Amino acid sequence: MSESDEQAYREMVSAQSDEQIDFWSGDLFMDFAKRMGVGTAIAAFCTAAGIDERGFQRAFLVGGGPDHVVGIDTAGALAAPIFELPKAVAGLRRIDPAARDKLIDFLVLQREVMSYTP
């Protein structure tokens, strides 16, 4: 995707409500995990959000994720059930005033992973 396409996508996403951005981010997170692996998806989310593994765990827990399901997979990457990953989006909103911009970055940086279903 070209730089101008990226800018157009960023502008389109930025024009959305917080609720829509959160919904898309949660969907992207789950789609990403299904396609590329949970550890890879969590790492991409953490990069966009500027958080480390402890930051992810905090966001996940604050967002309502159960504490007993976050762990380390056989490759040594942070893991959690796919259907619970959107809890980190909700938690990021609660703990970081810049969450909107970070979630937009997540959507833009991983836009090719996003699946579009009507």
Structure tokens at 95: 């703990």
User: Residue 8 phi/psi, 5° resolution?
Assistant: -65, -40
113 or 96, greater pLDDT: 96
Structure tokens at 84: 């619970």
At residue 114 the predicted structure's pLDDT band, cuts being 50, 70 and 90, is: low
Strands (E) in the chain, as ranges, are 71-72, 78-79
Model pLDDT for residues 58-98, shown as the tens digit of each residue: 999 999 999 899 999 888 889 999 999 999 999 999 999 99
Angle at 53 between CA 102 and CA 67, to 5 degrees: 105
Model pLDDT for residues 26-44, shown as the tens digit of each residue: 999 999 999 889 999 999 9
Structure tokens at 15: 């024009």
* Nearest CA among 29, 10, 48 for reference residue 88: 29
- Residue pair 87/57 in contact (Cβ under 8 Å)? The answer is no
pLDDT of residue 117: 45
The Cα–Cα gap between 108 and 118 comes to: 20
